[in-house]
Structure formats: structure tokens, C-alpha cells
A and B are shown apart, each in its own frame.
Chain A
Amino acid sequence: MTTPTHDSTHDSHDTHDTDRTRDVWGERTPHGRGTPWPTRVDLHLEDGVSEDQVDRWVSSACLLCSNGCGCDIAVKDGRMVGVRGRATDRVNHGRLGPKGLYGSTPWSHSPDRLTRPLVREGGDLVETDWDTAMGRIVARSKQLLEEQGPLSHGFYTSGQLFLEEYYTQAVIGKAGLGTPHMDGNTRLCTATAAAALKESFGADGQPGSYDDIEHCDALFLYGHNMAETQTVLWSRILDRTRGDDPPRVVCVDPRRTAVAAEAERTGGVHLAPRVGTNLALMNALTRELLEHDAWVDHAWVEAHTLGLDDLRAVVAPYTPKEAARICGVEAEDVRRAARIFGESEAVLSTVLQGFYQSHQATAASVAVNNLHLLRGMLGRPGCGLLQMNGQPTAQNNRETGADGDLTGFRNWDNPAHVQELADLWHVDPMTIPHWAPPTHAMQIFSYAEAGTIGLLWISATNPAVSLPESERVKRILAGDQCFVVVQDLFLTETARLADVVLPAAGWGEKTGTFTNVDRTVHLSEKAVDPPGEARSDLEIFLTYADAMGFTDLDGGPLVTWRTPEEAFEAWTEASRGRPCDYTGITYDLLRGPTGVQWPLGVERLYGDGVFPTDTDRCETYGHDLVTGGTVSEQEHRAQAPAGRAFLKGTAYSPPHEEPSEDYPFRLTTGRTVYHFHTRTKTKRSRPLEESAPHAWVELAAADADRLGVADGATVRLESPRGAIEVPVRVGEVTEGAVFVPFHYGDHPANELTMTVWDPVSKQPTFKTAACRVTRVHDGEGS
């Protein structure tokens, strides 16, 4: 199987007749516990194109969320004109959601694609050729290296490039330049997932499998509005909850989401803690579990974990009543939720932004891991844990180390790990910047603000909209103190402020792999040529590496690969023997009927109860969950973890910004089902954009009454940092909270949020800020 083309062999649901922006999860295919999820192929072709007119189908996977649904791209006359779910793929069994169906291809032939490089001339961006644009970057880069050394360079990347591109960027940054200033916008969405996994299990890597949905009898979704963020995964759950012997659902979310409704429908629980109080709730659930001795698998805990006594002491004060007081939930609901966790045979938990972007993010997410450890519920069918990712390729960013991680889930503080990479890349280990902790995104922007980072290279992301305090970020990007390079598909809000803009090829215009939340690797093949002079991100990085002349110890070129497949093979070597071992996975294998999980042949991690916590193997020695202070090698070794997982507990502390008389509401931000990230792609899809064209603020009915506003009225939302005016939707947030989606550059919710981040994961806290709401007028049109 070496051809990327697949013939149509299944009956497909052509979405021309069903509007999937309304019917988001599609038709139900219910089935009983332990039976396979039925196949249903979803298809969408652009107006006027029918299935028999398609010239070619090119195999890929959807790049619009972290679910990684396998699909084939329809090509007609050299254009991408639609997508069809792959019936044989283990992730989606043929399905696609509205974002994937309607958002995958229209952006690609949008007239405002970048087709030529741009450089700044007298204040304006003007078109130029590649040599000129790259020449400016290289000149600046060399000058800075000479004058100030590698710490003058920073890279801010994305959760949307391919593995091959990240790996190449990681090698350039870590072994070519030697800068610790590399991070991605993955910091905003998944850093806490990685941090929580590392703290508990010693290394990143999702223990669970999507197939656990078919086997579980209870499902816990923590701060994870899956019904909107990963619609196909939610379809998979609905097909269980609507079938025979359904699992009970427990939802932890301050909003009454579709997940919350399903929790109630299945006899589960919806816990709606006050924004910023997740950890108090988690501590109460943990305490309940420990109070009911029979729920804890003592033999397993004894053999495979460390830290039970300390955890018990930390959670002791958090009675259900205390949780009720702090979180504003019913004590009885806490007891019921704990009982469901304690008495079910097989629990699957998922965690997302409601925990990751909130106060005490890592500690609360670690607490979810603790619950599974206490019941020994890992590595068996139905017993799963998925610390979810927001973006489609975030996992690869972490694996390869294009962000702050060390390539191949290695440990920055372990000299032997650094030496392994130095040997692999054939460079001096001192080049690899392991002498300082890697710089996280917010710090990178602070250095760029001060000008001590003089060259900031931003790929495939739009920090002018997505970072907290967006006005400040725009000032930093626009200023003269730092030379900004942006490579992207469009002239985004960020690209407009750059000194050099490079036109990039997008999904379907280049080849590469990426890995979803349950470790499934997909190959996405090139279906069409990129527009104009646009180049793949891999080509761009290779061009830079060539022009800079990065060499190894023998004077040979540092980056020895040219094609995506060669880059993948180089990465496979870098991952050999590490927890994220890709060996055995090849492009040929990935051209088969389905994506493939790493490590090859391992559906679930930790079935044997052995974790990568050994001091010589682990990815981190761990942190103080309150301060982020690092545990030293000696301290780690003294605990002799030897493959046992850590039970780490932390006391709850109130959020940094509590509502006050002036700012009485708690602000929370989030996503909608129709858009992805800053809408760079999704706003170019008519069905998606028409479904959610504007920002809005959601208020609880009682609060709306009190303010005297109805649906559609315009209100002013003000925090100590900024203000926006947006229409009101009376919705399902809890009283005292307001919700704003974060996708909209023209009404940036992030102007309201404060710059504060989790001490361990360094993920910014978007979810807690205080604000006030005032009525502007009754209609829209602000």
C-alpha cells in the first residue's frame, strides 16, 4: 500500500442534505457496551461538486482539533474541494464533525492567501522574492549571534505544524543556534496536560485509548466541553449513552453544557464549581474515595505508587460540606460523583481547558490522575485517562521539543539525556541549552518586549489575538526592539506587525505526520500544490538552516534530511528507547487503512503498572505544585520511585483575582463548536462563519434580569485590564459568571484576562478574572 489515493467503497452521508452545523453530532448509531463502534462515513463536497466528479482522494487526517479524525481529501482540477471520513480509521470510524467537514478546505483557495514573501519597507509590508526575505532574516540572525549570542533568538510555534517540521525546528533551535527560548501556543492549550502527566507518571504520554469509550461504565469529563471541542469523540460517547448498558457521565463544568445535560440524563452528576475552585472539588472527591476504603485498590496502590500518606493528609480538610462551601456545589452531589467513580468497574476520564486554563491547573489535573491511581484504573479496557490536547499537533510539538521540552521526552536536568542528543546530532552538549530551564511563551514575549530577544520567529500562530493581554503583545510585535518573522497562510493580525512575512503551505499542500490525543499517528499527504510561491514550513526551516550554515562537530551539515519522510526517519531515531518510541512506524505503514499508535502495538500505556519514573529514565524530577520549584536529582533518587507513580496533593488556594464590588463577575473564556483557535481557517468557511459570526457574552438568566438586558442587547464587559462591547446571549453559565468565546480578533476576550500562569505548566490562566457588566443598548450593532 503505497498509494495515497483511495477509492470510494462505502455509502457516505453527503452533508449536502443534512446541515451538520445544526446537527452537530450527526445521526446516532447506538450500540451496547463492549461492542465495536459502528461505522458511518461522513462526506462533504463543495457546492456543485458530486462524488463521481472527484479526480482523486488523498489520504490525510483532519487538522482542526486534537481528535485526529482520519479522512480523505477530495481533489478536483488541482483544488481541494471536500473531505470524506475514513471508514477504516480507528479514531473516527468514518465520521467527521462540522469543523472538519466545512472547515477543512475552503481556506485553501481563499483569495487572501499569502502567495509571496513580504518585507517591511518604510513602515509598509511590500511583496518581494524568497531570496530577499530570507536574506533579511539571515542577516539579522547572524548579526545578533555575533553581537549577543544565541539567547537573542526566540521561536514561537504552533499546535498545527507537522511532526517533521517541529523536529527540524527543534534541531535548529537546540543544536544549531542553542537557544532555550522556544515555545509554542501549545503552552496555552496543552502545557498542563503534559505537566500533569509528567508529575504523576514521570513522562508525558496519554495512558488511555479512544476504544475505552466502548468499554467503560462511567465517564468523567473534567472541564472538558467535548460536545463542542471534539465533536466526533462526543458522537462516540453519545452512541454509548444512547445504546444498551450505557455508562454514566459525570461532568465538571461551570456551564450547563450538552455534556452536563447528558450527565443528568444518564443518572450521573453535573458538578458546577465556581470558576477557580476546581482543586477544592478534586480534593473532596479524593477524600471521599479514601474514606470508602473498599473503593481503593490497596494492593495496587502499595505496589505501584508513592505518596499515599501525604495525599491523605492534604485532602483531609475537604469534606463534601467544605467543597460545597468553597465551590458552590451540593455536598450530596460530591458524594454521588465519588460513589460513581468508586463503584464503577471501568472509568474513563478526560480533562481539558476548564482545568488547564484555570487556577491551580496542574494540581487539579494531577488530582484526576490520582483518582485513577487510587483505584488502579489504568491500562485496561475502559480504564483510561486522557489529558486532552486542544490543538491537532500539540502532542508532536511536545514530543520533538519544538516547545520547551527536551526532544524525545528527555529530561533537561539529566546530563546523560542531553549527551544522548549531543551524540545523535553530533554536537557539543554545551550547545544544547540545558543549563537553564526552557523559556515559556509568556517569558519569551517579555524578553522580546525588553529587546533582549532581538529576533522572534512565529510560525502558524496568531499571538496578537490568542495570548493574554493582546494589546501588550501587539505593542511588542510592532516595536523596533525586536525583529519579527511570521510564517503563515494568511496575513493574520500578527503577520501585519511582522518585519518579514513568509507565505506557508497548509494542510493538504504538503506532506507530514501528526499525532492525536490517544497517540494515533496519521500521515497527511500532499493533495495539491500550494498557491503562488508559498512553501512548506519544513522547506522554510531547511532554507534557513542551509543559509545559516549550521554544522556538526565534523563540519558536516547539522540537518541532513530533505524530505518529510527523511525527517520522520531522523525523528524515529531520536525517539528510540524513549517513552514516545516511534520505531517500527513508517510512512508505508501509515499509508495503511488506519492511523497507528505509538509505541507500535501498545494500545494503552501502563497496563503493567510500571511507570517511567525511574530517576535515570523520567522526563522530569518533578516540581513543587504550588511554587513550581524544581525537585533535585538527589531528592528524586532518595524517593526511589523505581517505576512507581507519584500521588501528589496540594491544598486549594483562592484564585488571584476574586470578584469585588467594582468587578462582581467571574469571567471565563472558551471555544465554540464552529471555530478553531483564532478562526484563521474556520472563518473562511461560510457555513461555520454564519453559525457563529460574532463574539458574544453569555450571562445567567438571573444576572441578565438583574442587569435589565435580554438576548441580543449590547453590554460592555470591563476588567481591570480592558473592555469590550458585545451582544448578550442568555445562556447556561452559573450565576455570577460570564462566558466569552476567545476566537474573535475584533473583540478579543483576551484583553480582559490577566497575565498569570500556572507555576508548573506555565499555562496562562484565561479562566479566572473579575469583571463588570454594564448595559449599553438593547439591540446589536456596537
Chain B
Amino acid sequence: MPHLATYVGLADHSEQTLADSFRAVAEGHAQVADVFHLCHTLAGWSDAHREALAPVVERYGEQTDVDEPERLHAAGLAQARDGEIGLLRDLQDLHVLASLVQTTWMVIAQGAQGLRDRELLDLAHACSAETARQITWLDTRLKVAAPQALIVAP
């Protein structure tokens, strides 16, 4: 099952990237109070997913040296951008990263079904549901930020 192991590794890695990126956006837009607090909260969710995944990683053995899905290792946001338009772009980047996490969980859930690995299946479902909530928040916040940023911001 080298490829399932690859995906387990990918989930672990992309959750970490997402968590780090949420934190980078939080700190970069610290004056935007809701973004600051919620990005930290949502980063915590991704941390928790990784923690829950740890025993699975051990069971399957994380494979980071399989080169096929390398392209899927999206780079995180090292630094946030400035201003209202910058916030818009940062939220969009988070959205892309979160979507990668979500499809990864979906793929893992399929594998877990096939292997009848109930523990992994439940985990994939639970994490995927929370990733969906992260994405819903990003959608909502993007909609809030968009008009002012696009039309009136300098």
C-alpha cells in the first residue's frame, strides 16, 4: 500500500502547511481582529487533525520519498500580504490549501473503505467535515472582504 501511505503523508503535510499558513495570515492581519482570532482557531483544528493522524502514520509508515504526488505539495504562505486587497488574496490562498486538504481526506477515505480500516475511515470523515467548515468560513469571509477591497480600497 505504498500509495495510501503516500496520501497519509500528504494529509499530514498539507494539514501542517494549512495550519502554518492560517497562523501566518493571523499574524500578518493581526489588526483585523476576527481574522486574527479565527485563523488561530482554525489552525488549531488542523493541528488536531495531525495529532489524530499520528497513530495512522505510524501504522502505515509515512512515505515522503515517493515522487509521484510531489506536485501536490503546495507551498504554504510564508508571509501575509498588506491591506484589504492583500487580505483577500491571502484568504484565497488559504482556500486553495484547504481544498487540497479536503480532497486528500476524500482520497484517504476511499482507500480506508477498500481496506476496511474503520479507524482511518472515521478519522478521514471527521477531519474532512472540519475542513469543510474551514472552507465555509473562508468563503464567508471572502465575500465580506471582496466588495470594499475591489471597489473602494486604494
Residues of A at the B interface (CB closer than 8 Å) are: 148-149, 151-152, 180, 435-437, 439, 442-443, 446-447, 450-453, 624, 626-630, 653, 656, 754-757, 759
Contacts and interface: CB of A to CB of B under 8 A. Distances in A.
B133 A629 contact: yes
Nearest to B31: A446
B43 interface: no
Given A151-B152, A627-B133, A630-B136, A437 B144 contact: yes
Contact of B147 (A435, A446, A653, A755): A435
A629 B136 contact: yes
A117 to B, nearest CB: 28
B148 A626 contact: no
Contacts of B33: 442, 754-757
A653 to B, nearest CB: 7
Given A151-B147, A437-B144, A627-B42, 19 more contacts: A148-B151, A151-B151, A436-B146, A436-B147, A442-B33, A452-B148, A452-B152, A453-B152, A626-B41, A627-B38, A627-B137, A628-B34, A628-B137, A629-B140, A630-B136, A630-B140, A754-B33, A756-B37, A757-B33
Contacts of B72: none
Contacts of A629: 133, 136-137, 139-140
B143 interface: yes
A617 to B, nearest CB: 22
Interface string B23-40: 000000000111001100
A755 B133 CA distance: 24
Contacts of A759: 34, 38
Nearest to B146: A436
B147 A180 contact: yes
Contacts of A630: 136, 139-140
A764 to B, nearest CB: 9
A134 to B, nearest CB: 24
Closest 10 CB pairs of A and B: A629-B136, A627-B137, A629-B137, A452-B152, A755-B33, A436-B147, A629-B140, A151-B152, A630-B140, A148-B152
Which of B42, B134, B146, B148 counts the most A-chain CB atoms under 10 A from its CB? B148
A58 B70 CA distance: 79
Nearest to B145: A436
A446 B32 contact: yes
B66 interface: no
Contact of B143 (A437, A450, A755, A756): A437
Contact of A450 (B134, B136, B147, B153): B153
Interface string B62-76: 000000000000000
A451 to B, nearest CB: 8
B140 A152 contact: no
Contacts of A442: 33
A208 to B, nearest CB: 31
B84 A450 contact: yes
Question: On chain B, which size bracket covers the interface?
Answer: 20 to 34
Nearest to A764: B33
Which of A180, A437, A627, A628 counts the most B-chain CB atoms under 10 A from its CB? A627
Interface of B: 32-34, 37-38, 41-42, 84, 133-134, 136-137, 139-140, 143-144, 146-148, 151-154
Nearest to B144: A437
18 contacts: A151-B148, A436-B144, A439-B148, A443-B144, A446-B32, A450-B153, A452-B154, A453-B152, A624-B136, A624-B137, A627-B133, A628-B140, A629-B136, A629-B137, A629-B139, A630-B139, A756-B34, A759-B34
A87 B144 CA distance: 49
Contacts of B148: 151, 439, 447, 452
A439 B152 CA distance: 14
Contacts of A439: 144, 148
A140 to B, nearest CB: 15
Nearest to B36: A756
Contacts of A755: 33
A180 B147 CA distance: 10
Contact of A626 (B133, B147, B154): B133
Contacts of A628: 34, 38, 137, 140
A656 B34 CA distance: 11
A656 B41 CA distance: 10
A149 B133 contact: no
A630 B144 CA distance: 11
A641 B57 CA distance: 41
Which of B42, B133, B152 counts the most A-chain CB atoms under 10 A from its CB? B152
B152 A152 contact: yes
B77 to A, nearest CB: 19
Contacts of B133: 624, 626-627, 629
A653 B151 contact: no
Contacts of B37: 656, 756
A446 B30 CA distance: 13
Contacts of B34: 628, 756-757, 759
Contacts of B146: 436
Nearest to A443: B144
A446 B41 CA distance: 22
Which of A435, A447, A628, A754 counts the most B-chain CB atoms under 10 A from its CB? A628
A423 B44 CA distance: 46
A452 to B, nearest CB: 4
Given A442-B33, A627-B42, A756-B37, A437 B140 contact: yes
A28 B127 CA distance: 58
Which of A149, A450, A629 counts the most B-chain CB atoms under 10 A from its CB? A629
A10 B85 CA distance: 65
B115 to A, nearest CB: 27
A452 B87 CA distance: 15
A435 B142 CA distance: 12
Which of A437, A453, A653 counts the most B-chain CB atoms under 10 A from its CB? A437
Contacts of B153: 450, 452
